[in-house]
Chain A
Amino acid sequence: MAITRRDLITTIARSGATGAVAVTLGTTPLHADTETIPVPSTAVGLLYDATICIGCKACVAACAEANGEVPDTRGDSLHQSPTDLNDLTRNIIKLYKPTDGSPASYVKRQCMHCLDPACAAGCPFQALHKDPESGIVYWTADKCIGCRYCTITCPYHVPRFQWQGYNPRVTKCELCSHRLEKGLKPGCTSVCPTGAVIYGPRTVLLIEARRRIRENPGRYYKDKVYGETDNGGTQSLYLARVPFDDLGLPELGEESVPAKTLRWQRRLYQYFVLPGLLYAGLVQVIRTSLKGHEEEAHAREKETGLRAQL
């Protein structure tokens, strides 16, 4: 056989060398691209101040009503008392009450509308996508294959899958976009009696949050607005007295989850350069192997008188 390992290596090297240079040069600027997350031009969002919230759950009922959902009375067949976000509940008020007597707090949970949403990054056919103008993360029924990857990827555990029925949906807050179109506010903000949750452009909400922190020193945990930079920034912003981690808002760092975890994945598959090169190299090598293999098989065919099996 004329094929040696050296031939093999040189073939791979020959076909790969030029490409490797191209990839290295090509990916350096791409690296910079993935680091900066664009903020939508007219990003809107919610500001929830847990220190003002009285836990009346008016927003929970209003949310279901605004979205045309039947009240979730599955708990006791009487009261609308969902225990968590679910297929009928896009918005919920929870109570964090530590046993050691340290401060308790309510928390309102709904979609965070991340600037770089992990759900949309994982969604195979872009059923979950971020509106480039409003920044609202929408779910499109026509594109969703029901893989439930969004329920795995969302660091806030927000999208919920409908487990019953032949035509399941993914339920998550879409900031009542149908109400926004009519010039109304989202359901939850329109009924809040204390103004614990307000709606507005993200920039305005950030200024308001900063103002509250400035005017009430010592009131807020670490004087921090959760969502300003967390997970690459979110459009739902939070103020609270207790650690955010206890409220189900994990410390994720300033880099968004997709940017943090899929950096290499994204770079390797950029424009399919690397897979393409690998393919070309493989074809070269296999072509040579196949020739040798066929020759051997035919020699064997002559020897044994049995038809070659390739």
Chain B
Amino acid sequence: MSAITTNQFKTDARSDNRWERAVPVYGVPVVTHFFLLLVALTLVALMLTGYRELAGLGPVSGMNDAFGWGIWKTFNVMVLTALGSGAFAVGIAAWVFRRKRLHALMRMALLTSFLAYASGLLLLGIDAGRPWNFYWIVFPWKWNMHSPLAEVAICMSIYAMIPLAVENLPPVLERLWYFDSRLRPGVERMEKRLHSVFPYVIALAYLLPGMHQSSLGALMLLAGERVHPLWQTPLLPLLYVGAATFMSFGCVAGTTMLCCLMWKRAMDMEVLDEAARITCWLIYGWSALRIVDIAFREQFGTAFHFDRFAGVFWLEMAMIVGGGVLLQRSLRTHDRGKMFLGYIVSSLGGMVYRFSPTTLAFRPNPQALYFPATIEILVSLGFIALGVAGFLVAVKRFAILPGPLYLWHDMASYFRFRRPYIRWTGYFKYGHFGEDEDVATHSN
């Protein structure tokens, strides 16, 4: 990166690692071997989906009369939307509790949320046996207002299609603004309109996930005794939201750290420390609530039975609390490796927790077993691949990943000198690069 020196800016900010600005990942191709693998997985999943629509759910999945729900619902929707609750949890911390540093992570949070919800909702439509009847969703008087599943289905679709999509618009508009100077007046008008509705949209984007993430927990309340008492509790909705908060912090911060490692970006430890601090206290609070709840219902004895339920319980608690402890230690030593590991471990623990009530701790009567079929796993993987592929395209084409200020200037130089023939990136052609911009505007 020798070209960077040609770009002048006032202070020597290169030592300053603060995340000031979202900068696209530049200088790397979108279509890589890994990306092609993801696309292939998605295509395979789509083809298998066609087969599923004709053959029915039985031939493609391990679902049976006892386990009516397979991994498409219990993993891709229940678990992955918890990981994708970043727009909810990080957003509330940033906008409602005014942890201003976390604004740097907001675009990552919004993008991961949108992709997790979109891929989850698509798979929900495939998992439904009679999807053509979804049209009832537009007639509110036909909804069963007290059904947790109606709440989940309706609220999730509205959330992903309206508030989450609108919240994800600014990077797109920004891209258009840089794309061509002729688009600027229109884009600016749209941005103004967007900002005037923003408070209402953002508030909706916190209310709806709060409702449907808790309703995901409420789903299993109706299953009653069939969910093991270590999981079945009237607090299940609250615990589900709680798990979603720390898991999504882990997902957003962890993904950002991973991206920084992968594309060699500076890490802003102030932001990451703040996120880790919040996550670790969320984990402690959640774990305490869960333990107190189990003790209050006098079910702690079942945790010491020698069976798979106790095993799963201790596994998830160890992972969640262990992750929290790692995060807390990393705050003291500023050890990034420990912090990353803490996020991974606690999020994995949370994933097991969200997966348990429907599958691992579900005791159908009569006894039965469920293990996903190959096609089921492939479709599930394919839709995850779709989300990851979408993420890779988005971070390389839009300003999503946070970076230090100098990275923006680096990017400008890179495009100006290394790729002058790529007009469509616009970041350089009609770009807005501080001092140079003045030259461009004066000449008009």
Contact = CB atoms under 8 A, between A and B. Distances in A.
Q: Do A and B come from one complex?
A: yes
Interface of B: 20-22, 53-59, 63-66, 68-69, 95-98, 100, 103, 127-131, 133-134, 136-137, 142-151, 153-154, 170, 174, 177, 195, 198-200, 202-204, 206-207, 210-211, 215, 218-226, 234, 237, 364-366, 399, 405, 408, 432-435, 437
Contacts of A162: 56, 129
Closest 3 pairs (CB-CB, A-B): A146-B129, A163-B58, A305-B434
A118 interface: yes
A191 interface: no
Interface stretch (A42-50, A151-159, A193-201): A151-159
A221 B394 CA distance: 66
Interface of A: 3, 5, 8, 84-86, 118, 120-127, 141-149, 151-153, 155, 157, 160-168, 248, 250, 252, 257-258, 260-262, 264-266, 269, 275, 278-279, 282-283, 285-287, 289-290, 292-294, 296, 300, 304-307, 309-310
Nearest to A251: B225
Contacts of B199: 283, 286-287, 290
A280 to B, nearest CB: 8
Contacts of A85: 65
A143 B142 contact: yes
A278 B66 CA distance: 39
Given A148-B129, A168-B57, A258 B202 contact: no
A124 B68 contact: no
A279 B203 contact: yes
Contacts of A265: 146, 148, 215, 218, 221, 237
Nearest to A86: B65
Contacts, number: 214
A40 to B, nearest CB: 18
Given A148-B68, A261-B218, A289-B95, 20 more contacts: A85-B65, A121-B146, A124-B154, A125-B133, A125-B144, A144-B133, A146-B128, A149-B68, A151-B68, A152-B219, A152-B223, A157-B366, A166-B53, A166-B55, A248-B366, A283-B200, A300-B20, A304-B405, A307-B174, A310-B170
Interface of B, secondary structure class, is: helix
A86 B68 CA distance: 13
Nearest to A170: B129
Contacts of A292: 98
A66 B222 CA distance: 32
Contacts of B405: 304, 306
